[in-house]
Amino acid sequence: MIPVRGFEGARVAVLGLGRSGLATARALRAGGAEAICWDDNPEARERAEAEGFSCADLSRAGAFDGIASLIVSPGIPHLYPKPNPVVRAALMAGVPVDNDIGLFFRSVATGEWDKFDQPPKVVAITGSNGKSTTVALLQHILEQAGRDSQMAGNIGRGVLDIDPPGNGGVIVLELSSYQTELARALTPDVAVFTNLSPDHLDRHGGMGGYFAAKRRLFAEGGPDRAIVGVDEDEGLFLAGQLSEAASDDRVIRISAAQKLTGPGWQVFARKGFLSEYRKGRQVASIDLRPMQGLPGAHNHQNACAAYAAARALGLAPRMIEGGLESYPGLPHRSQTIAEAGGVRYVNDSKATNVDSAVKALSAFGNIRWICGGLEKDGGLEALKGHTGSVRRAYVIGREAATFAMQLDVDAVVCTTMGEAVAQAMAEAEPGDTVLLAPSAASFDQYDNFEQRGEDFIAEVTRRLENG
């Protein structure tokens, strides 16, 4: 646990008592503060009270009298589409609003660090797609290199629930736009921006607000090293804002779409090969093509980001290459779950938006595509022109018929995962890939994308076992 500093003897309100909320309450108590908790869910309040926390309705009049700060869980809106009433009440009372990420950055460094031969480092990774894979891949590379490391944030444990880092330790954080937008402290040693595509636009008041939320990770604290994907205009602009000159190697530009040149520091992937250039000269090259845990150009971008972060932490190219080769992949992200009869079965349930689905579709050939679910803002228009490898689509979801009508490929309405898997498997031929890449949220049929992916795995496994 990371005890929260700066609130000794103070009363701090915690809104939302899920995984991060309860961890925040515990960390506040460990730092000498009194946590006043609230969640609209009675069961969540009962769990907090069972641990000895006081619960009080923060929406009542005078609830913020004597409160030093309000700590908000990520899923609770503080501005768009409209502020949560409790957040508004805190702001009206002049009470600062923060989240667990802000508390982490103000609390993680201690006087003990002065005694370390190598001070710990924090790497924070944000972007629209590839964050989780990049975090897990970097964590794997560090472990393979024998470095003490932990991953937290949107993946693994809550940021305040991890162990205090030791000598030379590395903390790798996955941060969403919800987290970076509100945190009052953001001071990573290395910050990574993978890419940007439309997502969560209602929460940020549009694309500009969404980019601004990501940009805060780089603008608030000024990381020692910034790693920026420049395949979109926003990333190119961000890299330009952070650089003092073309040769400024505090910014590492990464790409999976183009060769990068110039006197600075670049890492890019082309035709399956990762290359590192510094001061106009190539210093390393890695063949990514045989690495089953990193299929497709989108995973090659993730490899570039993780490679650049590992280099910024001082690891040698060959040491990083070993970690890339042994990386097994993350569940629900281009995850090969089986190969039988010449057919490959791939679970990419995390492809919850159009952009991530396009990347999954570009990674494989002869695709039997299982897609559908709760459409996000912007519709499916951007899928057109990227479905050349799709032999047929098998559409699931409550609005499967409407979804299927928007596709530019032969599509069959299946509605359920079981029916989609059954038809795809029956029609698949050697050399085909049965790919779950929904291009939509899961909430019309499942609690989350993980549950949807597990259903796909279960259906495939059952049918393969039964012949």
**Phi, psi dihedral angles at 137 (to 5 degrees):** -65, -45
Q: Work out the mean pLDDT of the chain and round it to a whole number.
A: 94
User: Which domains does the chain possess?
Assistant: 11-98 (3.40.50.720), 104-326 (3.40.1190.10), 335-462 (3.90.190.20)
Work out the pLDDT band at 266, boundaries 50, 70, 90: very high
Predicted local distance difference test score (pLDDT) of residue 164: 95
Q: pLDDT-derived band of residue 356, with 50, 70 and 90 as boundaries?
A: confident
Long-range contacts of 55-60 (CB under 8 A, 24+ apart): 58/13, 58/15, 58/86, 58/89, 58/90, 59/85, 59/86, 59/89
pLDDT digits (tens, 9 = 90+) for 11-49: 999 999 988 999 999 999 999 999 999 999 999 999 999
- Looking at residue 293, its pLDDT comes to 87
The model's confidence at residue 185, banded by pLDDT at 50, 70 and 90, is very high
On the question of pLDDT at 447 being above 80, the answer is yes
Please state the residue numbers annotated as binding site for ATP: 127-133
pLDDT one-digit tens code per residue, 162-179: 999 999 999 999 999 999
Q: Tokens for 68?
A: 């030093």
Please count the other Cβ atoms lying within 10 Å of the Cβ belonging to residue 175: 29
Contacts of 435 (CB under 8 A, 6+ apart): 346, 348, 360, 361, 364, 367, 368, 369, 370
Three state DSSP letters for the chain: CCCCCCCCCCEEEEECCCHHHHHHHHHHHHCCCEEEEECCCHHHHHHHHHCCCEECCCCCCCCCCCEEEEEECCCCCCCCCCCCHHHHHHHHCCCCEECHHHHHHHHCCCHHHHHCCCCCEEEEEECCCCHHHHHHHHHHHHHHCCCCEEEEECCCECCCCCCCCCCCCEEEEECCHHHHHHCCCCCCCEEEECCCCCCCHHHHCCHHHHHHHHHHHHHCCCCCEEEEECCCHHHHHHHHHHCCCCCCCCEEEEECCCCCCCCCEEEEEECCEEEEEECCEEEEEEECCCCCCCCHHHHHHHHHHHHHHHHHCCCCHHHHHHHHHHCCCCCCCCEEEEEECCEEEEECCCCCCHHHHHHHHHCCCCEEEEECCECCCCCCHHHCCCCCCEEEEEEECCCHHHHHHCCCCCEEEEECHHHHHHHHHHHCCCCCEEEECCCCECCCCCCCHHHHHHHHHHHHHHHHHCC
Residue 467 has pLDDT above 80, yes or no: no
Cα angle value 76/132/80 (rounded, 5°): 25
Check residue 296 and give its pLDDT. Answer: 85
pLDDT of residue 177: 93
pLDDT of 58 above 90? yes
- Detail the residues annotated as belonging to a binding site: 127-133
Amino acid occupying residue 361: L
- Range with the lowest mean pLDDT among 163-172, 196-205, 239-248, 293-302? 196-205
Q: Hey, what are 322's tokens?
A: 């070993």
CB atoms within 10 A of CB 314: 12
The whole-number pLDDT of residue 328 equals: 86
With bands split at pLDDT 50, 70 and 90, how would you rate the model's confidence at 297? Answer: confident
Question: Tell me: the pLDDT tens digits for 152-161?
Answer: 998 878 999 9
Residue 465: predicted pLDDT? 93
pLDDT at 377 over 80: no
Residue 155 is predicted with a pLDDT of 84
Cβ–Cβ under 8 Å, residues 368 and 433: yes
Q: Is 80:87 a contact under the CB 8 Å cutoff? A: no
Amino acid occupying residue 119: P
pLDDT at residue 379 in the model: 78
- Split at pLDDT 50, 70, 90, the class of 315 is very high
Dihedral of alpha carbons 159, 160, 162, 165, sign: positive
Crossing angle between the packed helical segments 296-312 and 317-326, to the nearest 10 degrees: 140
Task: For 107-139, write each residue's pLDDT tens digit.
Answer: 999 988 989 999 999 999 999 988 999 999 999
pLDDT for 221: 79
Section 62-83 average pLDDT: 95
Specify the pLDDT at position 310.
98
Strand order across the 67-72 sheet: 54-55, 34-38, 11-15, 67-72, 97-98
Per-residue pLDDT, averaged over 307-315, amounts to 98
99 pLDDT more than 90: yes
β-pair partners for 269 = 274
What share of the chain in percent tops pLDDT 70?
A: 100
pLDDT, position 330: 82
Q: How buried is residue 367: exposed, middle or buried, by Cβ count under 10 Å (0-12/13-18/19+)? A: buried
**What confidence score (pLDDT) does residue 130 get?**
87
Does residue 467 or residue 410 have the better pLDDT?
410
